[in-house]
Amino acid sequence: MNPETSASTPGTSTTSAAPMAPASAATAIQHPISQASAGPAPASTAALPALVDSDASVLDALSSLVTGGDLRALLVPSQIISRVVATVDALPRSSIGSTNILPLRTPKGTMQTQQANGVTLIGAQNADRYQPYMTVLENIDPHTLVAWYKHNYPLFQEAYRELGYPRGYFNDRVVVAIDDMLAAPDLHDPVAVTQVGPRYIFVDQRLQSLSAGQKLMIRLGPANEAQLKAKLRMIRELVVGGQVAH
């Protein structure tokens, strides 16, 4: 959901999404999935497919979890789990890098702006570009989503190892990414931007220096950011083994 870059191409390899700082030593697992077993039973108890052959079943499963919106139209249908893993790993960094790693197609069009006293601001209408994504978000139950994630966790862990973290633990990185996005500032005044080539960047260097995930939160607009943060708080609680009300 990055408005500053073009949509990724289905089928593009994610091998270019190697981590900036691969883990060189084992670290203690903070949030083991084996201890995060609360929640509904997974929709399927069938054996997991091989990671390389998982796209069809992942696409079908994720689509079935959403009761509204068109997730299939938003998802890049190849290397889904590997794209998710690479994107989660990149969100707390300063930049996503190549959009080839994204599991979701980027919003249509370019950032919507408005002028005020000679300053270019992110327009209020820019939030509308994210409506298809927010509709999916609204119509997915975090309990069933996390139950599916736990059932399929070995595939995520395998993809994380392949990304360049043979001793890392993906669920710990998920929590880091969520915490980083939850720490994004809550801004209610219009945000000034300037265009650099095809991209818009924040005029305020404090904002421009934020992580990729936090900058995304700001671009979503205040209402969308609040909605996403609320869902992320529930997901975080569930992936660390807690419970939240339905």
pLDDT band with cut points at 50, 70 and 90 for residue 244: confident
Looking at the domain assignment, is residue 24 inside a domain?
no
Looking at the domain assignment, is residue 26 inside a domain?
no
Looking at the domain assignment, is residue 4 inside a domain?
no
Looking at the domain assignment, is residue 34 inside a domain?
no
> What angle do the packed helices 212-220 and 170-182 form, to 10 degrees?
50
Looking at the domain assignment, is residue 42 inside a domain?
no
pTM confidence score: 0.86
Bridge partner list, 200 = 195
Q: Domain tally for the chain?
A: 1
What whole-number distance in Å separates Cα of residue 191 and Cα of residue 202?
A: 7
User: What's the start-to-end Cα distance of the chain, in Å?
Assistant: 27
**Tens digit of each residue's pLDDT (9 = 90 or more) over 48-81:** 999 999 999 999 999 999 999 999 999 999 999 9
**pLDDT the model gives residue 198:** 87
Looking at the domain assignment, is residue 246 inside a domain?
no
Domain range enclosing 60: 52-239
Looking at the domain assignment, is residue 93 inside a domain?
yes
